[in-house]
Structure 1
């Protein structure tokens, strides 16, 4: 349209106030200003702005009203100026309305219409960001969580929650706002427990993956009290997700979730007792992806700050060896976490057997290398502390020629 606008004069009220281009689908915001649909939806839903670009007033009602009269004027103007190369914009498809979404949600409560309604809602939510926000604003969360919770009661056989699978899929793809995620955490029937049951009992790997990914988002906005009161079964199911290797997305979401909840001491113990440490070590042994390795090392570092975690690490035949081999082989982040793990072991669990094993595995040589090369100061400091701590024992070895202290 740039060439056209140099030859003919375009009425100013045909131009979108944001993009200054001719509007293809003019819609009016609650503030009374008309914009092109794509431009204002990008402003409100992709850029997450909550004010009218022109008036700077807060936008409370996000439903956009089609300006049919202006659209017809623009289409007529395009037709009249066809000789100048102006193409007539086609009449846009009418987007779904609040009323239609509410009807679909109500129908989802009916056993006869549930699957049809949920499949339609899934199509709607995957269409664009605007539909996600509309669905959240009309109370979709309440309908969807009810379907999931009802299907995961103790009397519900595993593998029959087809409606719950669809509802969970939709709930995850809504990409809820912080307020929406907090509402899930604050539900009286404890939706965290419901999702824990989904991870354990859902027939499809996809639903188990959506459950852990939704939990990851929820605990990113959780209050400390909500994090410290987690059930041991929660950690057992996360361990099983890692063992089953459902998908790379599910694995990363599980690790991120563990990183969120394991700074608390009680959770570290629960995670260790759930068998997390050997699973992480085995995963680290085969892992070739940098970010995943970093996250595994981060979780291991957190767990090894508990006596139970360190015991599990030392009980694994390859625990110390696998951790130490990641120094300088993955990234600076992974290297620092590895040294921190070794520091926790050396300080709190450094008995004679462990100290001798660190020497035999070449860990002492690796630590000596850390203090000599260019790397993070904190990493060097931790390595130096380990060497000083057990230096008298290690200096007796003929293979050590450096001054440990």
Structure 2
């Protein structure tokens, strides 16, 4: 039987932004954001140098215990465990079965509301529901129906987002959503949410799509969903919510693996949009914007669009030392591909005016060897070729260390 205390509303400030579980050992980064110690340690040890919530590059990877929040969480836990039985709202196994039957019979909203409230409360509740055979299939099945109320669709993606981390869920959803041969498929419902849902449900829909992009075939199928790319780019242009923008960027990076996908993004104006994002100092998605720009620069249509947008080239060069190491490497790739393809004065002028040569030299000093160091050297030589600037002419890049001649 399920414990009476399973259904507990957890204050959002007590949840780790990474795991979404109640923090056991809250620690704060230099950005002021607090995470559970185990979650942020795993993030940093995986090679990241940004704050997961803000994507701001960290000036220091040190963190300090948030003792005040730790005490508040402990007091809340003690209070919750003493809560009288009359104040708890556990769902019995029989009640879950009844709710699932109602959802299958298309009596959705009330039943989904109860499921959504229960599953979003705590990890124990999610694990309890996952014990029911066919639970994922019943919930996801709503997406395949025609003429479902938008409020029901929003509840479905909320429930599915809550259980994405459970074992095997992503694989099951991959099969349910991507391999459906029904006339009205799940993608139609997801498009409806992106068009008519609120920001929370739009974020959840985009995350759901990214979670099922498990292999190249899945990524291609998602990228081929009619109207998905134009709709996502429209959201980026008209939306100011950083979480939605960041989620959309992640999905586009994940699924734009084919030439056709990159070409469609270019045709829908991705280059100008990314250029504007790079110019916005308050934008928290510079790294992902640069990653996506590097992705589209790998096709000829993307390189041409970047070349024809001088502001974009300048902004890429200006960002070389303002983004993470990975994003700086993406910026180098963009500039290198432009020079390799065109070698024209417009690109060279943009690089020189933004003082990119000095930045490239600094990047070379960071890299003892490897592809990026090589491409930095080739870029510098390309910019210096025929250049009369004495400052530029005083450098050579063949030695192991960058030294004036």
User: Which of 373, 376, 381 pairs up with 1:383?
Assistant: 376
TM-score after normalising by structure 1 = 0.67
Given candidates 114, 124, 137, the residue that maps to 2:118 is 124
The separation in 1 between residues aligned to 2:124 and 2:217, in whole angstroms, is 33
In structure 2, relative to structure 1, the CA distance for the partners of 1:200 and 1:253 (3 Å cut) is closer
Q: 1:102 aligns with which of 87, 97, 104?
A: 97
The unaligned stretches of length 5 or more in structure 1 are: 1-24, 28-36, 38-45, 47-87
Q: Give yes or no for contact 1:107–1:114 (8 Å, CA) kept in 2.
A: yes
After superposition, the C-alpha distances for 1:281-306 in whole angstroms (9 at most, x for unaligned) are: 2112214466x222221111111111
CA distance in 2, matches of 1:295, 1:376: 25
- Contact map agreement 1:301 1:337 (CA 8 A) in 2: yes
Which residue of 153, 163, 168 corresponds with 2:157? 168
1:330 aligned onto 2:330: no
Taking a change above 3 Å as real, the CA distance of residues 91 and 120 of structure 1, as seen in their structure-2 partners, is closer
Q: What are the equivalent positions in structure 2 for 1:238-253 lying under 5 Å apart? A: 238-245=232-239, 247-253=241-247
Give how far 1:133 is off. Answer: 3.6
Asked whether 1:266 is paired with 2:260, we answer yes
Partner in structure 2 of residue 139 of structure 1: 134
CA distance in 1, matches of 2:275, 2:155: 34
**Alpha-carbon distance in structure 2 between the residues aligned to 1:264 and 1:384:** 29
Compared with structure 1, are the counterparts of its residues 380 and 89 closer, same or farther at alpha carbon in structure 2 (3 Å cutoff)?
Answer: closer
Higher relative contact order (CA 8 A, sep 6+): 2
Please give the alpha-carbon distance, in whole angstroms, between the structure 1 residues aligned to 2:240 and 2:180. Answer: 28
- 1:209 touches 1:246 (CA, 8 Å); kept in 2? no
In the alignment, what sits opposite 1:225? 217
> Any idea what SS the aligned residue of 1:108 has?
helix
Q: Is the 8 A contact 1:199 1:237 kept in 2?
A: no
Q: Take 1:365 and 1:346, find their aligned partners in 2: how far apart are those partners?
A: 17
Is the 2:294–2:331 contact (alpha carbons within 8 Å) kept by the matching residues of 1?
A: yes
Distance change in 2, residues 1:234/1:128 (3 Å): same
Say which SS state the counterpart of residue 337 (structure 1) adopts.
helix
1:148 paired to 2:143: yes
Q: Deviations for 1:94-143, whole angstroms, at most 9, x for unmatched residues?
A: 842333212112223556x5322121111111133243244344323333
TM-score (norm 2): 0.67
Matches within 5 A, 1:341-352: 341-352=334-345
Q: Distance in 2 between matches of 1:295 and 1:259?
A: 8
Consecutive unaligned residues of structure 2, counting only runs of 5 or more, are 7-20, 22-81, 398-405
Change (3 A) 1:386 1:142: same
* Aligned residue pair count: 313
Structure 1 residues 109 and 327: CA distance shift in structure 2, 3 A: same
Alpha-carbon distance in 1 for matches of 2:103, 2:252? 33
Higher Cα Rg, which structure? 1
Tell me the distance in 2 between the aligned counterparts of 1:387 and 1:89.
67
- Alpha-carbon contact 2:318-2:354 (below 8 Å) kept: no
Q: How does 1:184-223 map to 2 (within 5 A)?
A: 184-189=177-182, 191=185, 193-194=187-188, 196-219=190-213, 222-223=214-215
Moved more, 90-99 or 223-232: 90-99
3-state SS of the aligned residue for 1:377? coil
Which residue in the other structure is 1:14 paired with? Answer: none
Q: How many angstroms apart in 1 are the aligned matches of 2:2 and 2:194? A: 48
Please report the RMSD computed on the Cα atoms of aligned residues, expressed in angstroms.
Answer: 3.4
